[in-house]
Structure 1
Amino acid sequence: MTDLVSLTALVPEQLAAARNSSAGRSARTLYGGTGHALRQTVLALAGGHSLGEHESPGEATLQVLAGRVRLSAGGKKWEATEGGFLPIPPTRHDLAAIDDSVVLLSVVAGTGA
Structure 2
Amino acid sequence: MRDVAALTEEYATAASSAPHGRSAELVLKDGPLRQSVLGLAEGAELAEHDSPPAGSVLVLKGSIEIVSGSETLTLETGMLAEVPRERHSVRAVVDSAFLLTAVTDI
TM range (shorter): over 0.9
Rg (Cα) greater in structure: 1
Partner of 1:74: 69
Tell me which of 19, 23, 27 is aligned to 1:22: 19
Equivalent residues, number? 106
Answer yes or no: is 1:40 the counterpart of 2:35: yes
Partner of 2:101: 106
**3-state secondary structure, aligned to 2:46:** coil
Partner of 2:58: 63
Structure with greater strand percent = 2
Structure 2 unpaired stretches of 5+: none
Matches of 2:101 and 2:42, distance apart in 1: 21
Cα deviation 1:44-88 (Å, max 9, x = unaligned) = 000100101111132110000000000111230110111000101
Partner of 1:96: 91
Cα deviation 1:79-99 (Å, max 9, x = unaligned) = 011100010111100111000
Would you identify which runs of 4 or more consecutive aligned residues in structure 1 move more than 2 Å? none
**3-state secondary structure, aligned to 1:12:** helix
**3-state secondary structure, aligned to 1:106:** strand
The amino acid that maps onto 1:37 is P
Aligned-residue RMSD, C-alpha:
1.2
Structure 1 unpaired stretches of 5+: none
The amino acid that maps onto 2:76 is T
Partner of 2:80: 85
Tell me the TM-score normalized by structure 1. Answer: 0.88
The amino acid that maps onto 2:8 is V
